[in-house]
């Protein structure tokens, strides 16, 4: 039977990184995440399992990203979000709320869409695909409507 999630221990072993409790905790948080996680999210999620500080979380995230274990979703702010880059989580676009910064995963690309995007001059190398749709999430629309009504001075 096909596994539903990656095994953190196996993933770290295959990457050639040493298996430390901190790396295990960060990767487990990312494997189980439903939404992309920020470094702050990961700090909160790993606090009970292992002693880890912010600098270490950033260092671990960078090492996972550089080995292709995770994808970095740049948000235009200092805080990126991260998600697994494994077969369980094929490349897909993201929606970013420009108000609260929430990142929402959108359905995966079809293979033909991905090929269309990759069809470019041969002297380019594609290192990653990063598609983001930016707007307001449902909660911020509600919040905004509330504000508009309250501050309406036509």
Q: Name the minimum Å distance from CB 151 to Zn ion.
A: 19
Nearest distance in Å: CB 136, Zn ion: 6
Nearest Cα to Cα of residue 107 among 94, 98, 88? 94
Instruction: Please say which residue, 17 or 56, places its beta carbon nearer to Zn ion.
Output: 17
List interacting residues with Zn ion (CB under 5 A).
6, 83, 86, 88, 97, 99-100, 102, 105, 137, 140
Token digits of residue 7? 């095994």
Cβ 23 to Zn ion, closest distance in Å? Answer: 16
With tokens 């990203």, the residue in question is: 65
d(CA 31, CA 85): 10
The smaller minimum CB distance to Zn ion, of residues 13 and 88, is found at 88
Length of the chain (residues): 154
């Amino acid at each position: 039977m096909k596994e539903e999630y990656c095994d953190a221990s196996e993933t770290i072993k295959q990457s050639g990184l040493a298996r430390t409790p901190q790396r295990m905790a960060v990767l487990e948080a990312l494997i189980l995440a439903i939404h992309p996680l920020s470094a702050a999210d990961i700090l909160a999620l790993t606090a009970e399992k292992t002693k880890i500080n912010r600098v270490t979380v950033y260092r671990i995230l960078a090492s996972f990203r550089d080995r292709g274990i995770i994808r970095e979703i740049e948000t235009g702010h200092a805080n990126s979000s991260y998600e697994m880059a494994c077969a369980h989580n094929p490349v897909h676009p993201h929606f970013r709320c420009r108000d609260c910064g929430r990142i929402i995963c959108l359905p995966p690309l079809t293979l033909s869409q991905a090929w269309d995007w990759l069809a470019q001059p041969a002297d380019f190398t594609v290192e990653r695909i990063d598609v983001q749709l930016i707007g307001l999430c449902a909660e911020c629309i509600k919040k905004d409507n509330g504000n508009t009504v309250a501050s309406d001075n036509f």
